[in-house]
Structure 1
Amino acid sequence: MKDEAAFRAALGRFASGVTVVSTVQGGVDHAMTASAFTSVSLDPPQVLVCAHRVSRFHDAVLASGTWGVSILAEAAQEASSWFAWRGRPLAGQIEKFAHHRGETGVMLLDDALAWLECRTAAIHDGGDHSILVGDVVAARVHGSTDTPLLYYRSHYGTIIRSEDSEKTDRQGNP
């Protein structure tokens, strides 16, 4: 690629949701903010996330084989920024935010729209990242909030609901 700046700028123009992906390895919680997350399959239920190879999270999630995904609500912007900060201390890193443990023992943030728990099904080479494909072993939806945290061109945002939306009724319900 001749123009790396143009490549980064083009990718920055893709709006995405924001997640915090977590794992527990050797009794230590690891987490990272990820917008490189998507569904893979409904049958079997699978998702994927991309993890930077040089991050602490990368080695921990490969060793543990289980991971959780907190799909963030707008209220979780501070958590998103915190878990995106490289070099933050591991000790006590999750204590700043309300959370609970899932069935697999992973940390899941309370300020989320939904939660998924996964077991790694496959790992693919993605250049400077590993592409982790996970079988979803548990899924839950937060019933009282429906305002997603979005990311676009290095800025956080949220959606504006339209009465003309095909997917929502007049009260904003799916």
Structure 2
Amino acid sequence: MIPPDPAEFRRVAGRFTTGITIVTTVVEGVPHAMTMSAFTTVSLDPLLVLFCAEKKARFHDTVLGRETWAVSILGEHSEAASSWFATRGRPLEGQLDGWATHPGAVTGAPVFDEAIGALECRTHAVHDGGDHSIVVGEVLAVSLPSEGGPLLYDRGAYRALKPE
């Protein structure tokens, strides 16, 4: 059997509409962030979530080196933030300048003010996932920073839910 072509796999998998998050942490007082579409809930008892971080991304080693981190679930008006924090090679210093954030009450990791939901987490487990690491986090705190519909990603483009 011939394995699927990676480009074709990406096209097919891209038809699975996802929400968009930004995962953040702080290292020696410097905030770090990265857009993540590979995020999901895992368990209610205990409360667990996961995200998948590409191993070659500099954020990978940064977040794996920290015990705590936060997830900001992006709203429909957050395309600019999603795009910026998905940009490879953006400057580390000041990367959150110009973005309204506040420190999470439990972890101190930045939470985006425009997020429609936020979770503060402690790393519970890390699993190998090929060219990604699967980072499972225990949820320590939840919040609803703002209201609105979710920012979605489908077939390589941002989308929003249509109002009824």
Query: Could you state the TM-score of these two structures normalised by the residue count of structure 1?
Result: 0.89
Q: Which residue of 2 aligns with 1:108?
A: 111
Q: Which residue of 2 aligns with 1:158?
A: 160
After TM superposition, the structure 1 = structure 2 runs for residues 17-166 of structure 1, keeping only pairs within 5 Å, are: 17-102=19-104, 103-142=106-145, 144-162=146-164
5+ residue gaps, structure 1: 163-174
Q: How far apart are residue 16 of structure 1 and its match?
A: 0.5
Q: How far apart are residue 26 of structure 1 and its match?
A: 2.6
The AA in structure 1 aligned to 2:129 is G
Query: Could you state the TM-score of these two structures normalised by the residue count of structure 2?
Result: 0.94
CA RMSD of aligned residues (A): 1.1
Larger Rg: 1
The AA in structure 2 aligned to 1:60 is T
Q: Which residue of 1 aligns with 2:18?
A: 16
**What is the distance in 2 between the residues matched to 1:18 and 1:96?**
20
Q: Which residue of 2 aligns with 1:166?
A: none
**What is the distance in 2 between the residues matched to 1:101 and 1:139?**
13
The AA in structure 2 aligned to 1:117 is E
Q: Which residue of 2 aligns with 1:165?
A: none
Q: How far apart are residue 125 of structure 1 and its match?
A: 0.3
Between the aligned residues of both structures, percent identity stands at: 55
Runs of 4+ residues over 3 Å off in structure 1: none
**What is the distance in 1 between the residues matched to 2:119 and 2:89?**
26
Structure 2 SS opposite 1:75:
coil
8 Å Cα contact 1:46/1:133 also seen in 2: yes
5+ residue gaps, structure 2: none
**What is the distance in 2 between the residues matched to 1:66 and 1:57?**
14
Structure 1 SS opposite 2:9:
helix
